[in-house]
Amino acid sequence: MPRVVTLAHYYTAPEIQQMADKVGDSLELSLFARDADADIIVFAGVRFMAETAKILNPNATVILPDAGSTCSLVTQTDVTTLKAWRESYPDHVHVSYINSSAEHKALSDWIVTSRNVDDIIAHLYAEGKKVIFSPDRNMGAYLNFQHGYDMPLWSAVCEVHDKFNQTALDEAFAAVKTAKYLIAHPESPLPVLQQADYVGSTSGMLNWIKTFDKEPDAAIFVATEDGILYNMRLARPDLNIEQAPIYAGCQCNSCPYMKMNTIEAVKRAQAGQGTVIDYLTPADMDAARAPIERMLEFSKRYYA
């Protein structure tokens, strides 16, 4: 029998998370995939996550349950144009968010996740380096604003987080009579991040909720994909945790790509059927692995 390991991101539905051996943020899942003693890794997430797992554990068969599970940060980035952009800054270090294709990673000097982006870019600036950042414009704008950096930014956004809106938030805050807090993922727009009490990765936000010790009746607004509200409410059923509002239309902040991981698709993948990540050549994987490993080496301290 093949050894099958199933990984799920926090943005998948609760029933999918319950089928997984490991639930986590992008960095945790990459590390788990790298170290997994498995013949088959089922990645209930999106394609760039499954590709990263394959790059880090090339001997395993990595299966994405649904071929359509992409990410808008990937689809909004034309790699030929990105290459020309990167070449127009020959004396800069190119830092790319992990939400990028393998080809994109191969054009990068460092890969970062929302967990370590702050520390890695601070480290590069401390070394006197000049930095360009891709693909997430919102994340890059927040770093420039927070730290006074001058990084040229690529311009793609997460179609889910980009919907959060300051005016809608102001209205929601005004309607609350108790204390209120906002926590946000750094893929959200800058005006929303400027208002946040905490900005961080999915695991970082979950940890903030777990350790919340202020007003017990406070309203806590969360600006991120709705899947993780399940984990937050499970961890702290005593708290009033709300999805942050968006500007118009439905109040739904589901990632359509994460939600393609249905029970049936994950079960099929566990039986060996689905999108096998078998299209990356050894040379493609080597080129993409170097900047990922630079990040993992730097991030060891998070797991020390």
Q: Which does 104 bind (CB under 5 to 8 A by kind): ligand SF4, ligand 13P, none?
A: none
Q: Which string of x and - marks every residue 5-44 that binds ligand 13P (by CB under 6 A)?
A: --------------------xx------------------
Q: Which is nearer to ligand SF4, 183 or 219 (CB)?
A: 183
Q: Which is nearer to ligand 13P, 39 or 119 (CB)?
A: 119
| 21 exposure class (CB count in 10 Å sphere: 0-12, 13-18, 19+) | middle
Pick left, alpha or beta for residue 272 (phi over 0 → left; psi -120 to 50 → alpha; otherwise beta): left
Say whether 44 sits in a helix, a strand or coil.
strand
Restricted to residues 87-126, the positions that interact with ligand SF4 (CB under 6 A) are: 99
Pick left, alpha or beta for residue 183 (phi over 0 → left; psi -120 to 50 → alpha; otherwise beta): beta
Q: Which does 159 bind (CB under 5 to 8 A by kind): ligand SF4, ligand 13P, none?
A: ligand SF4
Q: Which string of x and - marks every residue 242-261 that binds ligand SF4 (by CB under 6 A)?
A: -------------x-xx---
The yes or no reply on residue 96 touching ligand 13P (CB under 6 A) is: no
Q: Which string of x and - marks every residue 34-53 that binds ligand SF4 (by CB under 6 A)?
A: ------------x-------
Give the separation between CA 141 and CA 187, rounded to whole angstroms.
Answer: 10
Tokens of 255: 């990632």
Restricted to residues 108-167, the positions that interact with ligand 13P (CB under 6 A) are: 113-114, 158
Buried b (16+ CB within 10 A) or exposed e, 25-38: bbbbbbbbbbebeb
The yes or no reply on residue 72 touching ligand 13P (CB under 6 A) is: no
Restricted to residues 168-197, the positions that interact with ligand 13P (CB under 6 A) are: 185, 187
Residue in 8, 151, 158, 228 binding ligand SF4, rule: CB under 6 A: 158
Give the separation between CA 165 and CA 170, rounded to whole angstroms.
Answer: 9
Q: Which does 72 bind (CB under 5 to 8 A by kind): ligand SF4, ligand 13P, none?
A: ligand SF4
Q: Which is nearer to ligand SF4, 72 or 203 (CB)?
A: 72
Give the separation between CA 212 and CA 48, rounded to whole angstroms.
Answer: 32
Q: Which is nearer to ligand SF4, 93 or 158 (CB)?
A: 158
Note the helical H segments in the chain. Answer: 14-17, 26-35, 47-56, 72-75, 79-87, 102-106, 117-126, 137-147, 166-174, 190-194, 202-210, 227-235, 263-270, 282-298
The yes or no reply on residue 72 touching ligand SF4 (CB under 6 A) is: yes
Give the separation between CA 9 and CA 124, rounded to whole angstroms.
Answer: 29
Residue in 4, 23, 60, 71 binding ligand SF4, rule: CB under 6 A: 71
Tokens of 45: 């997430």
The yes or no reply on residue 202 touching ligand 13P (CB under 6 A) is: yes
Count of residues engaged in binding ligand 13P, rule: CB under 6 A:
10
Tokens of 195: 């208002």
DSSP one-letter code for 250: -
Q: Which is nearer to ligand 13P, 103 or 226 (CB)?
A: 226
Q: Which stretches of the chain bind ligand SF4, using CB under 6 A?
A: 11, 46, 71-73, 99, 158-161, 187, 225, 255, 257-258
Q: Which stretches of the chain bind ligand 13P, using CB under 6 A?
A: 25-26, 99, 113-114, 158, 185, 187, 201-202
